[in-house]
Structure 1
Amino acid sequence: MKTFRRIHTTLFIIGLVATLILVSGCQATATTQPTTPPEGAQATTTPQPTTPLKKPQELTIGLGRNLYYGPKKWYFLHGSLAVWEPLVILDNDMIAQPVLATSWEMNEDGTVWTFHLREGVKFHDGTPFNADAVILNVPKLQEEYMTTLPNLDSLEKVDDYTVRFIMKEPTPNLPQLIAYFSSAMISPQALGEDGRPTAPIGTGPFKFVEYIEDDSIILERNDDYWGGPAKLERVIFKYIPDATTRLAALQTGEIDAIADVGSLQPEQASIVEQNPDLVLLQQGVATTHYLTFNCGKPPFDDVRLRQAVSMVIDRQGLVDNTLYGFGEPGVSVITPRAKQWVRTDVAPRYDPQAAKALAEEVLDGERVEAKLILHSGLLGRWPYENISQILQAAAAELGIDIKIETLEGGAWNEALKAGDYNLTMMPYTLMTGDPDFFMGRWVWSEGDLNQRRSYGYANERADELVIAAISEMDQAVRKEYYDELQAIVAEEVPFTPLYHEVTIYATRKNVKDLRLDVQFKPSLDKAYIE
């Protein structure tokens, strides 16, 4: 996938001068980043069309999931809504780029990272964005979102626009670890008596207006946005859980776009392509779809049966037939979007004969049962039901009789926690672009998801590698650690990649410049209605 960036000469020169000043006055190991945001970040200026826009600039996007979380989440809304902004975001090559932080550098041993903040930015309530906001938000996000900074010792305010992250151990990849959700900035004045945000008041190009329960989220343009006002005046995210109904709404013009990961089904692509009023688009994203095993109970406590099931899956066939070509066969547990980390020479192979031989070695002619549980909320977004039926037929040839059960989301989570399953399927997005976001949660024996979802996987060497890689400052050595981890997982198969997501999405013909990035964030600041 190619990353397209708008580069403005004036801003580039300003950013270059600022960078030279910073480097000349700093003895730290410099890793100062460019000040031009990537595709997917909010641009510092938003070029307007050459002629005035005549159509009402209101865009309605249909989604297969509800992006409103409310007060149960610190940031209230998904990042796709462009209401709040992070310090750092990843570009389409999964490299950290500046948003509310303009540059950063670390000391020689990677235990202190200094971030320089964008000046002149205000939250939607008029509160200035500064170091105090960072010191408020980051620790709360570590508590409530995901612990991406387990070695964080403290945050230190150097001045109003400079913050130091003091780490307990060397942290070579801190900008990646605080990308996107992990550094979502909410106004300090939005906090209620309980110390939690009462509304999603951010710094983004759009302001939150209203949430209509289980129906829609309404946003309006932030005319005072630090990067210049967007072209769209109003954006509505409409929750339409049924895939057929979503597409019908696009066809009739009830909505203007279907733009989110998993919101347009592969089999619907041809319908869009045949409609002259619609445009089909696609984007490789950082999401991988996995088949996971409960390694802590029979029959998949035997690695040979896990290997057999993996080898009986025709991943290329899944992509070609079930996904209609919109996907990539699983090659590693690390997404190929993280090009600098993925190892492709350990890709699972399709070998039904070898699979049968392994199964026979274990079962000796007997048959075993296995329960595969599916999350009902995922079935309207991805073809897990079809894939599970294909797997069921293939496993039967091995002597494994799979019973498929579909559970509501809460029951699915409870079943995983209790270990009441043998197999399941799920998506996972490498949100930080760093392998530890997967290895530290899935592979490490004490990892959050390993324990919470009862994977039951433990490997002493894998544990050593996960811990060592977190603080290894030599990037080549880190790569060796993660290469070995990918080989271990490929051999022991506690989980296996089915396919890597290529998201398809669609707009009506009059919608211009609406694109998704590698983290499926729509370019609301650039889009407009023609």
Structure 2
Amino acid sequence: MKKKHASLLLAAAMAASVISGCGNSANNSAAETEKTETIAAAATSAAEETTAAEAAEDTEKNETDEVVIATPRDAVQGSGDAYYCWEGAYVWEALTANNGGVIDPWLAKSWEHNDDCTEWTFNLRDDAYFTDGVQFNADVCLKNIERWGHGITSTYTTLSIEKSLPNLDKMEKVDDFTVKFTFTQPITTLEYVLSDYGSPMYSPNCFDEETGVISDYAIGTGPYKIVDHVESEYVTLERNDNYYGENGKVKTFKIRCIPDAETRVSALKSGEVMGLADNGAITMDAAKNLCDTDSSFEMDSTPSHMTEYIMFNDKNEYLADKRMRAAFNLATDRDSICSVIYGGLLQPAYSFLSTQSTFHLDIQGTYDMEQAKALAKEVLGDKTVDMTMIIRSSTASDYNCKAVAEYLKQVYAELGVNINIEIVDSSLYKERQQEGSYDMTLTVFGINNADPTSTFKQYFASEGNSNKTLNYNYYNEKIDELVAKAPTIADVEERSKIYDEIQQELFDDSACVPICYQINVNIHNKAITHYAGKTFGVGLPTISWVK
């Protein structure tokens, strides 16, 4: 298929996606409708620009004035969640931080290990205090790690001792601000594994020692603290004036949960909120259009740890065949998807690990429709088969995945596969995965710490938890061997080569179809400044009102 053909299909898919959300009017001519819509759009645009400008030119603001930000999901998941709130709330902190692939000290100020990487010693900060006055020290650190062993689930990622401290033999307090971990096998990248969501620390006063459940509000050492929360509505964050580092510029933030995309954008236009944040808060084309039509707004885009994928259920007899998966891989024109649907702002993806991973392997694949058709014919013969693609509803709207799915449906039809797209809510999506009642998913996700070992194991090892419970049912003997081998390699460079092998094998075997590397799109009213995107959300401590 020619590139022109692919672009036409993409345009048709996007048009279909838009049309599916429109009503019909039998009484107006096309010309009258267009005229009416043009006048209405102009009036609405002028009104919205005036409102936003007025919000930006309101009375002079200072640090005591609250800044309101909107996100698609509640920034606080609550007591039943292992993390309680997302990292972007700046409430809790971890031992180490992943800053664009560079591991920096956080609550641990330094670390060292023995020659074979079976003993690691972490030197902790002695000036960090939780917002309830408890000092962070070795005892608190070890209590938190014991909490990870209680099996508390999370919507963010798995928190467990086995994931964060694999093959742990013992942990001990060396002195008040030093802890030591001993492992039965070498672990060369522990500082990566413990970064961010790998080692959250909370005051022992806020969680039950027996269950690990956070009883009231999470209490951390971060630059902000939770002072009010109404589930699925908002959370209010107040500056921690006793923070050991640089204080936040704004005294109070309110982060509103607005799940509906149109309502979020309307709130921004009206001045109800000053910015949008979090994964999928606004589509790139919507943000760009708003900034182009209203000078009151500014967009910030930064690389994300999130990647868009097609994941297969290999229980399907055809998808269990490597040739069929390869056909889908070759038929996916990533360049056209990135340029047409995503406006040229995203990069085509071929490697499973995102570009934000230290261990990302730069794989350059190809688009070859003729080869794809040939492989599909080897598997299907002259048959046409039906396959179901499920998409979580929030993913479909927040990442423009509906348009991508409509395009892929048309393309894959040329392979002899009739794709039935089903967009379902989160609970049904999870249920369908656990039941295995789907053939493929179109999804967006990322890894939440800097070491990929547990992620490779989780998704692609034959006994991996997600591989089994989410019914990917992937089996590759070489992957099993490499995933088992990686943690035993003491030398970081040699271990990195194992990660390269894993990524290359996943690509060669078409274990999944990475489509594009996402970016964080954050937009804000120019009444505030230093609204910079981070790996998780935006940098709240740097935000300030424009003087």
Global fold match (TM > 0.5): yes
CA distance in 1, matches of 2:233, 2:247: 27
Partner of 1:527: 543
Preserved CA contact (<8 Å) 1:392 1:401: yes
- The one of 218, 222, 229 aligned to 1:200: 218
Preserved CA contact (<8 Å) 2:147 2:209: no
Moved more, 177-186 or 425-434: 425-434
CA distance in 1, matches of 2:127, 2:531: 27
CA distance in 1, matches of 2:443, 2:148: 24
Matched, 1:360 2:377: yes
- The one of 295, 298, 301 aligned to 1:282: 301
Partner of 1:10: none
Residue by residue, what CA displacement relative to the aligned partner does 1:243-299 show, whole Å, maximum 9, x if unpaired? Answer: 121111111110011122211102202222321111111001111111011112222
CA distance in 2, matches of 1:472, 1:209: 46
Residue by residue, what CA displacement relative to the aligned partner does 1:349-400 show, whole Å, maximum 9, x if unpaired? Answer: 2111111111112111111110111111222311111111111100111110
Matched, 1:313 2:332: yes
Residue by residue, what CA displacement relative to the aligned partner does 1:418-467 show, whole Å, maximum 9, x if unpaired? Answer: 21110102222122222314312112111121112111111111111111
Preserved CA contact (<8 Å) 1:431 1:437: no
- Alpha-carbon offset, residue 55 of structure 1: 6.2
CA distance in 1, matches of 2:208, 2:494: 46
Partner of 1:400: 417
Partner of 1:259: 277
Preserved CA contact (<8 Å) 2:112 2:122: yes
Partner of 2:8: none
Preserved CA contact (<8 Å) 1:334 1:438: no
Which residue identity does 1:232 align to in structure 2?
A: V
Moved more, 310-319 or 71-80: 71-80
**Cα RMSD, aligned residues only:** 1.7
Paired residues, number: 475
CA distance in 1, matches of 2:444, 2:375: 28
Matched, 1:67 2:75: yes
Secondary structure at 2:182's aligned position in 1?
strand
Q: How does 1:102-141 map to 2 (within 5 A)?
A: 102-141=109-148
- The one of 230, 234, 251 aligned to 1:212: 230
- Alpha-carbon offset, residue 170 of structure 1: 0.5
Moved more, 325-334 or 470-479: 470-479
Q: Compared with structure 1, are the counterparts of its residues 190 and 55 closer, same or farther at alpha carbon in structure 2 (3 Å cutoff)? A: closer
Q: How does 1:8-407 map to 2 (within 5 A)?
A: 54=62, 56-92=64-100, 94-141=101-148, 143-144=151-152, 145-146=158-159, 147-192=163-208, 194-195=210-211, 196-198=213-215, 199-268=217-286, 269-338=288-357, 340-345=358-363, 347-407=364-424
- Alpha-carbon offset, residue 500 of structure 1: 0.4
Secondary structure at 2:110's aligned position in 1?
strand
Which residue identity does 2:477 align to in structure 1?
A: E
Residue by residue, what CA displacement relative to the aligned partner does 1:472-530 show, whole Å, maximum 9, x if unpaired? Answer: 1122321221222112111211211110011211111021112122x224211111111
- Alpha-carbon offset, residue 113 of structure 1: 0.8
Residue by residue, what CA displacement relative to the aligned partner does 1:28-55 show, whole Å, maximum 9, x if unpaired? Answer: xxxxxxxxxxxxxxxxxxxxxxxx9746
CA distance in 1, matches of 2:63, 2:92: 27
Sequence identity (%): 30
Preserved CA contact (<8 Å) 1:153 1:168: yes
Preserved CA contact (<8 Å) 1:419 1:454: yes
CA distance in 2, matches of 1:312, 1:374: 20
CA distance in 2, matches of 1:193, 1:315: 49
Secondary structure at 1:486's aligned position in 2?
helix
CA distance in 1, matches of 2:336, 2:426: 29
Partner of 2:460: 443
CA distance in 1, matches of 2:435, 2:356: 33
Preserved CA contact (<8 Å) 1:86 1:181: yes
CA distance in 1, matches of 2:380, 2:350: 28
- Alpha-carbon offset, residue 119 of structure 1: 0.7
CA distance in 1, matches of 2:259, 2:478: 43
CA distance in 2, matches of 1:384, 1:449: 22
Structure 2 unaligned residues grouped into runs of 5+: 1-59, 153-157
- Alpha-carbon offset, residue 131 of structure 1: 0.8
Which residue identity does 1:344 align to in structure 2?
A: D
Residue by residue, what CA displacement relative to the aligned partner does 1:298-329 show, whole Å, maximum 9, x if unpaired? Answer: 22112111111111111011111111122110
TM-score, normalised by the number of residues in structure 2 = 0.84
CA distance in 2, matches of 1:194, 1:151: 23
CA distance in 2, matches of 1:498, 1:156: 44
Which residue identity does 1:506 align to in structure 2?
A: I
Partner of 1:464: 481
CA distance in 2, matches of 1:434, 1:336: 13
TM-score, normalised by the number of residues in structure 1 = 0.87
Partner of 1:49: none
CA distance in 1, matches of 2:178, 2:209: 28
Which residue identity does 1:271 align to in structure 2?
A: L
Residue by residue, what CA displacement relative to the aligned partner does 1:37-77 show, whole Å, maximum 9, x if unpaired? Answer: xxxxxxxxxxxxxxx97464321111112221111123311
Which residue identity does 2:89 align to in structure 1?
A: L
Preserved CA contact (<8 Å) 1:295 1:494: no
CA distance in 1, matches of 2:187, 2:527: 46
Preserved CA contact (<8 Å) 1:141 1:182: no
Preserved CA contact (<8 Å) 2:75 2:85: yes
Preserved CA contact (<8 Å) 2:193 2:449: yes
Residue by residue, what CA displacement relative to the aligned partner does 1:126-179 show, whole Å, maximum 9, x if unpaired? Answer: 111111111011232354333232212222111110011221210000011111
CA distance in 2, matches of 1:141, 1:319: 39
Q: Compared with structure 1, are the counterparts of its residues 417 and 348 closer, same or farther at alpha carbon in structure 2 (3 Å cutoff)? A: farther
Preserved CA contact (<8 Å) 1:67 1:78: yes
Q: Compared with structure 1, are the counterparts of its residues 393 and 262 closer, same or farther at alpha carbon in structure 2 (3 Å cutoff)? A: same
After superposing on structure 2, the runs of 4+ consecutive aligned residues of structure 1 that deviate more than 6 Å are: none
Partner of 1:430: 447
Secondary structure at 1:321's aligned position in 2?
helix
Preserved CA contact (<8 Å) 2:87 2:536: no
Secondary structure at 1:70's aligned position in 2?
coil
